[in-house]
């Protein structure tokens, strides 16, 4: 059994400007097909619009209030909301009324190299 706690993970900034702490991924466990991380965005901050060619993502919001945009559709998000982001879907998230804390699940696992921005 592999057991990791969130406090074991050091935060880092992804290519899209969010701060994440890896919970389980290839860097810290024998994970092969997915990754799980905690992401945070301070009030007023947003990720850069981007997409992933390979990864399908789930975002599960734990705290805060914001807006999630996927392929041009924007919805308000908060605790208990889950969002599916298909491979190739342009997306961004913004903390509009309170700092956001959410889980990011990616399959295949998150990789900087699979993050693309407008040219």
Domains of the chain: 13-114 (2.60.120.10)
Which pLDDT tens digit goes with each residue over 34-58?
999 999 999 999 999 999 999 999 9
Contact 75, 67 (CB under 8 A): yes
- How many Å apart are CA 34 and CA 36, to the nearest integer? 7
**Residue 13 banded pLDDT, cuts 50, 70, 90:** confident
**Residue 89 banded pLDDT, cuts 50, 70, 90:** very high
Q: What's the rounded mean pLDDT across residues 92-103?
A: 97
Q: What percentage of the chain reaches a pLDDT higher than 70?
A: 99
pLDDT greater than 70 at residue 76: yes
- How many Å apart are CA 111 and CA 67, to the nearest integer? 24
Contact 49, 90 (CB under 8 A): yes
pLDDT greater than 80 at residue 29: yes
């Amino acid at each position: 059994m592999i057991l990791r706690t969130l406090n074991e993970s050091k935060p880092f900034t992804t290519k899209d400007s969010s701060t994440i702490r890896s919970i389980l991924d290839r860097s810290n466990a024998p994970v092969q097909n997915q990754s799980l991380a905690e992401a945070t965005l301070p009030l007023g901050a947003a990720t850069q619009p981007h997409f992933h060619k390979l990864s399908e993502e789930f975002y599960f919001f734990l705290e805060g209030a914001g807006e999630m945009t996927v392929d041009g559709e924007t919805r308000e998000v908060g605790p208990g909301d889950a969002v599916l982001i298909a491979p190739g879907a342009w997306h961004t998230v913004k903390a509009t009324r309170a700092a956001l804390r959410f889980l990011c699940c990616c399959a295949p696992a998150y990789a900087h190299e699979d993050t693309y921005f407008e040219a």
